[in-house]
Amino acid sequence: MPVRLRKAALPYLLLLPGLGWLLLFFAIPLVYMAFESLKSGSPFAGGFQLTWEFSNYTDALKDYDEQFIRSFEYAGLATLIALLIGYPLAYVIAFRGGRWKNAMLLLVIVPFFVTYLIRTLSWETILSDSGIVVNTLQAVGIVGDAGRLLDTTVSVVAGITYNFLPFMILPLYASLERVDPRMLEAGYDLYGRRRDVFRHVTLPLSMPGVVAGVLLTFIPAAGDFINAQLLGTPKQYMIGNVIQSRYLVVNDYPTAAALSFLLMAFMLILVVIWARIAGTEALLGTEGERR
Amino acid sequence: MSAALRRRGLDWLLNGYGLLALVYLLVPIAVIVVFSFNDPVGRFNFLWNEFSLDAWKHPFAVQGVGDALKTSLEIAAMSTVIATALGTLTALALVRYEFKGRGPVNFFIFIPLATPEVVLGAALLSQFLNWGSPQLGFATILIAHVMFNLSFVVITVRSRLIGFDRSLEEAAQDLGATPWETFRLVTLPLIMPGVISAALLAFALSIDDFVITNFNSGSTITFPLFIWGAARVAVPPQIYVIATMIFLFTVAMMILTVWQQRRAEKMAAVRPDEPEPAAPRPAPAPA
């Protein structure tokens, strides 16, 4: 092969294995799922046939609108709480961390070192009836004597918030860390008060982190079903629970596939809107690439 | 005076809040460690009864947990190696070369990250069901894990490559190194920290994954699947013991890597992540 051609082909050759894998096991499966979502029939008598059953989508949306709405409510709430917890913490680490910066960052990702399911079981332990938290809250009178935390909306949202919190903190920290201290000094030199400097300098400069953090928290949160299953009851079930049980318990593949696509579509719409607001570069993390 | 006082009060408040947030992150982990020493009444390890070392003495006494852990470790190791290799090549192509379709490729790699895990798992299952092969089990779990790890590896390695000093490679080539030698002797050692972080991340994600595995596992049981099954019938303290062990192991690996990298960077004359002399950044638009 002539050298020039080989040079031109090189990037594609490098891409081939990785992209091939994603094509074969991510993109094409979506096509299969698309066909699956348009089938009708039953798992018992003769299986499912492709009949271009578009009503699967409207039926799924009608039957499970409650779980869809709940998913977005819980995920939105958890994202908001994570932002409220995560921003100040990221700020403290970035600007006050000093030589403890790396140690504190390590502590932020420590929860990731414990299996997700066990972290959730730990919340089951913490919030369990007659556990310390419930007893304390009962003594103070916030929770009634027969009241409980486990199997309520509170426990599910708390679990989701906790499990995805590091996804919020890390991008926040990354963007706050990059804020040039000289910019803040300039703000103070110009007689900005603290809150002015924060509002007009720090906050705008950390916006890419907020954007990425919100997305990284919201997406997995809205699709989650583990927290609702372990910390809630069917009254707290989210759309993930429905997809999981339709697929693996009831074997109702068409409905599950349709629900999956609806969920994915909602997510993509959100990402696109978000990208419009925030700019794709911050989103894809491609700033600074060779152009 | 009162302004200064208020300022200090605010400082304390903020630091305290940050500390509280850290505590919130760590309490559930502490609970797991503490409850691994519990001798629970009944089948669930949710209420403190009394201190016991039984679970630590016989961590694999619960039937099936050892096999599940072994399967998890095997899949994590294999998927890490494959995903790190493929992902590093992809990242190299994306950062180092200009070619047609780079934008779409970047986007394509981002989509799996923006897709809920249930959807990833369900789609892959649809394909396997239609193909009828391979039989759901070890192989399909491995395929799935490489798939969801790839994007993470690409993004991690890419972020390392972006801050990369190309003049070093040019120097190598000027000194007569072939492209392969340049890659092996210059590029690879320099991006190694990024590759290692990516591999660690992939390993952690793989050993932790439940949702996607759950869809594609057939009758094979990984450690998270074992816990899922256990969570409904009984949660023995052994599960907490193994979780604590994995936790300690990961922390040790992490500290070792950081320490190793520090040492390597100290020894090498070149420090790739030395900040460039900063150009003044553009001012933010006034709000």
Q: pLDDT per position in chain A (291 positions), as tens?
A: 566 677 778 888 999 999 999 999 999 999 999 999 999 887 776 778 888 889 999 999 999 999 999 999 999 999 999 999 999 999 999 988 888 888 888 888 888 888 899 999 999 888 888 777 888 888 887 777 777 888 889 999 999 999 999 989 998 998 898 888 888 888 888 888 888 888 888 888 888 889 889 988 999 999 999 999 999 999 999 999 999 999 888 888 999 999 999 999 988 888 888 777 766 555 555 554 443
B281: chain A residues, CB-CB within 8 Å:
180, 183
Distance from CA of B269 to the nearest CA of A (A): 23
Tally the C-alpha atoms within 13 A of residue B129's C-alpha that lie toward its C-beta.
Answer: 23
Question: Distance from B160 to chain A by nearest Cα, in Å?
Answer: 11
Residue A65: the pLDDT is 93
Assigned domain for A33 exists: yes
Q: Which of residues 208-237 of A touch B (CB under 8 A)?
A: 215, 219-220, 222-223, 225-226, 230
Whether residues A159 and A255 share a domain: the answer is yes
Residue type, position A199, single letter = R
Structural domains counted in chain A: 2
**Residue B199 resides in a domain:** yes
Are residues A121 and B120, on separate chains, in Cβ contact within 8 Å?
Answer: no
- Residues A186, A45 share a domain: no
Contact B28 A111 (CB under 8 A): yes
| 8 Å CB contact between A12 and A2 | no
pLDDT at B211: 94
> Which of A22, A30, A263 is facing B116, going by the closest CB pair?
A263
CB contact under 8 A, A194 and B162: no
CATH number at residue A240: 1.10.3720.10
Q: Is residue B8 part of a domain?
A: no
Do B77 and B234 form a contact (C-beta atoms < 8 A)? no
B117–A268 CB contact, under 8 Å: no
A131:B47 CB<8 A: yes
* Domain identity same for A37 and A166: no
Structure tokens at A33: 């799922």
Paired tokens of B90: 């992809």
Query: Which 3-state string (H, E, C) describes chain A?
Result: CCHHHHHHHHHHHHHHHHHHHHHHHHHHHHHHHHHHCCEEEECCCEEEEECCCCHHHHHHHHHCHHHHHHHHHHHHHHHHHHHHHHHHHHHHHHHHCHHHHHHHHHHHHHHHHCCHHHHHHHHHHHHCCCCHHHHHHHHHCCCCCCCCCCCCHHHHHHHHHHHHHHHHHHHHHHHHHCCCHHHHHHHHHCCCCHHHHHHHHHHHHHHHHHHHHHHHHHHHHHHCCHHHHHHCCHHHCCHHHHHHHHHHCCCCHHHHHHHHHHHHHHHHHHHHHHHHHHCHHHHHCCCCCCC
Please, where are the H alpha helices in B234-280?
237-267
Q: Kindly report the CATH number assigned to the domain that includes residue B220.
A: 1.10.3720.10
How many helices and strands (H and E) does chain B possess?
12, 0
- What is Dmax (Cα atoms) for chain B? 77
Q: Is-cis flag, bond preceding B134, omega within 30?
A: yes
Asked if A257 and A216 sit in the same domain, the reply is: yes
In a domain, A58, yes or no: no
Distance of residue A61 Cα from the nearest chain B Cα, in angstroms: 16
Domain total in chain B: 1
List of chain B residues with pLDDT < 70: 1, 163, 265, 267-287
Contact B43, B234 (CB under 8 A): yes
Q: Which residues contact B131 (CB under 8 A, 6 or more apart)?
A: none
Q: How far is A261 from chain B (nearest CA, A)?
A: 8
Last residue of a domain, one of A34, A53, A72: A53
Q: Which residues of A touch B228 (CB under 8 A)?
A: 117
Q: Would A256 be classed as within a structural domain?
A: yes
Listed as own residue / partner, the contacts of A185-190 with beta carbons closer than 8 Å and 24 or more positions apart are none
Structure tokens that stand for A232 in this block: 């809630």
User: Do the domain assignments include residue A70?
Assistant: yes
Q: Which of A4, A12, A14 to mutate to test the interface with B (most CBs of B within 10 A)?
A: A14
A222 to chain B nearest CA, in Å? 8
pLDDT at B280: 45
A240: which chain B residues are within 8 Å (Cβ-Cβ)?
A: 116, 118, 211
Per-residue pLDDT reduced to its tens digit, B153-203? 999 898 878 767 778 888 988 998 888 888 888 888 888 888 988 998 899
DSSP letter assigned to residue B235? B
**Planar angle of CA A180, B277, A99, nearest 5 degrees:** 55
Residue A8 lies in a domain: no
Inside any domain, residue A101: yes
Considering the domain architecture, whether residues A206 and A277 belong to the same structural domain is answered as yes
Judged by a CB distance cut-off of 8 A, whether residue A6 touches chain B is: no
| Domain match, A38 and A71 both | no
- Answer whether A18 sits within 8 Å of B90, measured CB to CB: yes
- For chains A and B, count residue pairs whose Cβ atoms are closer than 8 Å: 264
Question: What residues of chain A lie within 8 A of the CB of B284, using their CB?
Answer: 183, 200-201, 204-205
**Can you give the pLDDT at residue B80?**
96
B63 burial type by CB count under 10 A (0-12 exposed, 13-18 middle, 19+ buried) = exposed
Q: Is B68 within the bounds of a domain?
A: yes
Do both A41 and A92 map to the same domain?
A: no
**Does any domain span residue B115?**
yes
Which residues neighbour A273 within 8 Å (Cβ) at sequence distance 6 or greater?
Answer: none
Can you give the pLDDT at residue A97? 82
Closest Cα to residue B228, out of B245, B241, B215, B247? B215
Residue B132 lies in a domain: yes
Residues A116 and A26 in one domain: no
What's the confidence (pLDDT) of residue A24? Answer: 95
List, in order, residues 6 or more apart from B119 with CB less than 8 Å away: A223, A243, A260, A261, A263, A264
> Residue A36 belongs to what domain range?
14-53
Chain B CA closest to residue A8: B99
Tell me which residue range forms the domain holding B202.
63-235
Cβ–Cβ contact A180 with B under 8 A: yes
Q: How many C-beta neighbours within 10 Å does residue B74 have? A: 14
User: For residue A59, is it within any domain?
Assistant: no
CB-nearest partner of B123 from A10, A32, A288: A32
> If you search the block for the tokens 């409510």, which residue do you land on?
A73
Of the candidates B22, B95, B114, which has its C-beta nearest A104's C-beta?
B22
Do residues A285 and B133 lie in contact, with contact meaning Cβ atoms separated by under 8 Å?
A: no
Report the alpha-carbon distance of residue B65 to residue B59 in Å, rounded. Answer: 9
Q: Does any domain span residue B30? A: no
Establish if A226 belongs to a structural domain.
yes
Asked if B152 and A274 count as a contact pair (C-beta separation under 8 A), the reply is: no
Q: A152 vs chain B: nearest CA distance in angstroms?
A: 17
Please write the tens of the pLDDT for every residue from B14-24.
889 999 999 99
